[in-house]
Structure 1
Amino acid sequence: MNLLNTIRFDTYNELDVTVRTRLRKDSTTAPDFDPSARFALQLLDRLPDICARHGEPAVEFVDKGFAFRSHEPERSSTGIRWIQRTVGYEIRFLLRVMYRAATMRRTDVSPPSSILEGEWPVCSKCLLARRIWQYIGHAIVLAGIGLLIAVLIGTQISTSDHLPVPLGLALFPGWFPCGLVVATLLYQHSANLVLFRPITNHDKVWIRTHPGFADAFESDGTTSEAR
């Protein structure tokens, strides 16, 4: 299997597939439950044995919850608009927090998070890509541990009171915080095996899919939309 084809961004024309969802029953029994502030959704539809990302036969169904959130939840005509926590979202959120902090504006650094649960078909490409991104994240974390060991050894054998500049910069800010932020984003990316449009309704969700998945889903009478 070609590694570049596995980890590259998909270039096919995406189709939106609408699936039915519902609020998880145990999440609605809390006295302070507010579906516009935080919720847990469950997938109702049985998805075809086709990978949503690549349109290839699924090798397994992954029982997983995908996280959604929005800074000061954006309002829509239905009252909610929750965005999937992808790498792009996390980078935009981080930049917004940094900008508001630099301009002395108040910001919520931990907005409420909601979740969409279900069983999702994934193919071998998805699983391989997930392992690749995770291994790169592991390598970054382990590199930092190696730097810390090098610093400890250097301070023991060095006659100088200062660390070498390259080693110091590699440790800070190279590994901490920059490297750890990158590793966190890679772990986040590896977890998003399925991509979604923003949630605006508790009764349905739009999955961003490969045309092959949309065709298989339409065979059950469901309509998909080109984007």
Structure 2
Amino acid sequence: MVGEDLSVRVRLATESLPESEVVWGEKRRFNPTAAVRFLARRVEGLPMVCVRHGVPATGVVPATINFVQVGSVRMPRTVGLELRKWAREIIPIPPWFRLPDTSAKLRADWPACAACIARFRWLRQLAFGVLLAGPPAIVALFLAAAVGVPHGVIVSLVVLCFPGWLPVGIGISGLMLMAANTDIKVEPIDERPFVVIRAHPRFADATRSERHAD
């Protein structure tokens, strides 16, 4: 898709996502106004053509994309915005630097080729592997301290756990999960019955053909 991607309109379902699929805390923190309300939408009617590579899709990649309110625009959350969110949770920062709360959520099952599906699964498995490696490392640290292993080993285990796993490992895992979830570039969302994505020209052609067929 590099160098040849196009802007493509994809249709949104008329009904909103059910409340069970919306994180309650996100919706509760967002302060709606008369002009801006919380959106929870789902993409539908996608052709079975890989969005990134334009080849016949062998499956789908499920994705949940969050949008934050920047002025009057609901912007898709980026890695940079995510880092600001983490800073907001960890350390006191000025109000002008804080990340806006989530104002929209988009669900999609993106048609994908074998390479895209493999990338999605690899990123998720690696991220969850790093997350799950922490508790055993902490247990090993306490056991090593209890049985009196050499001081150098104890120090290595401490560094591996803190900050190796917490917060560095957890942070990297979060970024890998975000990369897996936001592989398809989505433009700001609004009240219209479609959203614009960046996609391969052959996916764009297939989308137009299905739209004309309808």
Tell me the TM-score range normalised by the shorter chain: 0.7 to 0.9
- Give the residue type in structure 1 aligned to 2:52: R
- Give the residue type in structure 2 aligned to 1:195: K
Partner of 1:4: none
Counterpart mapping for 1:197-208 below 5 A: 197-208=187-198
Alpha-carbon distance in structure 1 between the residues aligned to 2:197 and 2:32:
26
- Give the residue type in structure 2 aligned to 1:69: F
Instruction: Confirm or deny that 1:151 pairs with 2:163.
Output: no
CA contact (8 A) 1:67 1:113 kept: no
Alpha-carbon distance in structure 1 between the residues aligned to 2:92 and 2:47:
46
- Give the residue type in structure 2 aligned to 1:121: P
Partner of 2:37: 37
Structure 1 residue 119: deviation in Å?
A: 4.3
Structure 1 residue 22: deviation in Å?
A: 5.3
Instruction: Confirm or deny that 1:15 pairs with 2:6.
Output: yes
Structure 1 residue 168: deviation in Å?
A: 1.6
Instruction: Confirm or deny that 1:66 pairs with 2:64.
Output: yes
Q: What percent of counterpart residues are identical?
A: 26
Structure 1 unaligned spans of 5+ = 1-9, 223-227
Alpha-carbon distance in structure 1 between the residues aligned to 2:63 and 2:120:
16
Alpha-carbon distance in structure 2 between the residues aligned to 1:59 and 1:65:
16
Instruction: Confirm or deny that 1:81 pairs with 2:79.
Output: no
- Give the residue type in structure 1 aligned to 2:12: T
Alpha-carbon distance in structure 2 between the residues aligned to 1:211 and 1:21:
20
TM normalised by structure 2 equals 0.74
Structure 1 residue 180: deviation in Å?
A: 0.8
Alpha-carbon distance in structure 1 between the residues aligned to 2:112 and 2:86:
29
CA contact (8 A) 2:16 2:39 kept: no
Q: Which has the higher contact order (CA 8 A, sep 6+)?
A: 1
Structure 1 residue 160: deviation in Å?
A: 8.0
SS at match of 1:101: coil
Partner of 1:51: 50
Q: Name the CA shift for 1:11/1:150 in 2 (closer, same or farther; >3 Å).
A: same
CA contact (8 A) 1:23 1:202 kept: no
Q: Name the CA shift for 1:23/1:218 in 2 (closer, same or farther; >3 Å).
A: closer
CA contact (8 A) 1:195 1:207 kept: yes
Partner of 1:6: none
Alpha-carbon distance in structure 2 between the residues aligned to 1:58 and 1:39:
29
CA contact (8 A) 2:65 2:182 kept: no
CA contact (8 A) 1:41 1:202 kept: no
SS at match of 1:115: strand
Of 185, 188, 204, the residue aligned with 2:175 is 185
Counterpart mapping for 1:75-114 below 5 A: 75=71, 80-94=72-86, 97=88, 101-102=92-93, 104-105=94-95, 111-114=101-104
Structure 2 unaligned spans of 5+ = 20-30
Aligned length: 200
More helix by share: 2
Q: Deviations over 1:49-78 (max 9, x none)?
A: 20112212111245x4623221xx223xxx
- Which is worse superposed, 162-171 or 138-147? 162-171
- Which is worse superposed, 111-120 or 206-215? 111-120
Structure 1 residue 112: deviation in Å?
A: 3.0
Partner of 2:27: none
